[in-house]
Amino acid sequence: MYDYYLGGKDNLPVDRECAEEVIRKTPHVRLMARSNRDFLGRAVRFLAGECGITQFLDIETGLPTQSNVHQVAQEINPRARVVYVDNDPLVLAHARALLADNPNTHAMAGDLREPLHILGDPHVRGVLIFGEPVAVLLCAVLHFIRDSEDPYGIVDTFIRAMAPGSYLLVSHAEQRRALMPARAAYDRANAPAVLRTLVEIASFFYGLRLVEPGVVYVPLWRPDGPVYTDDLRVPVLGGIGRKP
C-alpha cells in the first residue's frame, strides 16, 4: 500500500483496492507517504554526513523505491553499511535482487516484534558492529505495532543494544480525527494501524537526547527548502534521538 501511495508498481490488486479506500477517506494520504519518504532521505543524509554514522539498521523497510537508505548513505560515504529487515518475502526478494552487487548492503528476514532475534541474527552481526555507533531506523512502522505488543519495550531493547553515540529515528502517524476513517480501512490489513499522540510518540525517545528540532511534523524536520501550507496538513511526526 505504501508503495502504491508513492506511485510505485510493486503492489498487488488487494493492496491497490485497500489503498484506494484509504485515499477516498483521507485524500492527503499520498502527501503523507511522500513527506515521510522525504524525511527519511533528509535524516539519512544528516546521519551519514553531519553525524558520521556508517552503520544503518532499517527495520520493516518495505519495498525498495527511489532514494533507498543505502543509496543515500553510500552517496555520502561509499563504505556505509546497511542492513534491511522485513518480514514480507516479496520485499526480501526485491531487496536481495537490488542489492546483489552491493557488498555493503544486505537484506534479512525479521519481525520488529522480535527485536532479540534481529539483534542476534548472524547476518546482522556479520555486517554491523554494535560496539560502535549505529543508526536504527523505525520509519512509519511503529504505528503498526499494537499496544498489547509492547512497542515501547521493543524500542527500548534496540536502545539498550546501541553503543553510545548511536541514533534512533522514528516517524509515526499522529492520532488525529481526520485519520480515523483511514485507520478503519487498515483493520482489514495484516497490521492494523495504531495512531498515537505527540506525547506518546516522543516517549519512544526516552533516555535519548533529541536532535533539533525535536519531534515535529516531518515536513518541518530540517527541510531542504520552504515549507508550504499543504505540508502542514501532514499528520506524521518524526524525530531523531542520540544515545548519550
Q: What pLDDT sits at residue 101?
A: 82
Asked if 15 contacts 4 with a C-beta cutoff of 8 angstroms, the reply is yes
CA distances from residue 166 to 38, 51, 132, 163 in whole angstroms, order as listed: 22, 9, 8, 6
Q: What pLDDT sits at residue 13?
A: 79
Indicate left, alpha or beta for 150 from its phi (over 0: left) and psi (-120 to 50: alpha).
left
User: Which residue's C-alpha cell is 537508505?
Assistant: 69
CA 145, CA 153: separation in Å to the nearest integer?
11
DSSP summary character for residue 7: T
pTM: 0.87
CA 67, CA 219: separation in Å to the nearest integer?
17
Q: What pLDDT sits at residue 47?
A: 98
Q: Show the low-confidence residues of the chain (pLDDT under 70).
A: 1-2, 5-11, 19, 22-23, 25-28, 63-66, 177-191, 229-231
